[in-house]
Amino acid sequence: MAVRIELEPCINCGLCRRTCPTETIRFFTTGKRTHVVEPAGCIDCDRCVQLCPENCIVPDVGYVHDAGELEAAKARARAWASQQNTMRKAIRARALQAAMAARR
């Protein structure tokens, strides 16, 4: 099951968009300053739901995933997680190098 954003209580903080591992939460796709979930890419991980300060992200009970699109979305999420881990490791390595250089 996918999620959707109720536009009335949404304050457009963007936290949901930045935490989405499949990058399926879009901004300005409606021509207005709103966030919208593309349900085909949602893997129902609930990261956005847990992070939303207004609790305006709710299940989209009317949407049923196609098995192929759900698998494609999960593959995008795995790639996103791998990219995040690589970036974290690079940042840690640079921080360690800077700390070692400062000790000299």
CATH number at residue 69: 3.30.70.20
Q: What is the pLDDT of residue 70?
A: 87
**CA distance readout (Å), 98 to 25, 29, 40, 49, 88:** 36, 42, 43, 37, 15
Q: Is the confidence at residue 1, as pLDDT, over 90?
A: no
Q: What is the pLDDT of residue 93?
A: 94
Q: Is the pTM of this model over 0.85?
A: no
- The tally of domains found in the chain comes to 1
Domain containing 72 equals 2-103
Task: Tokens for 71, please give them.
Answer: 């698998």
Question: Are 33 and 85 within 8 A, CB to CB?
Answer: no
pLDDT tens track for 36-73: 999 888 988 899 999 999 999 999 988 888 888 888 88
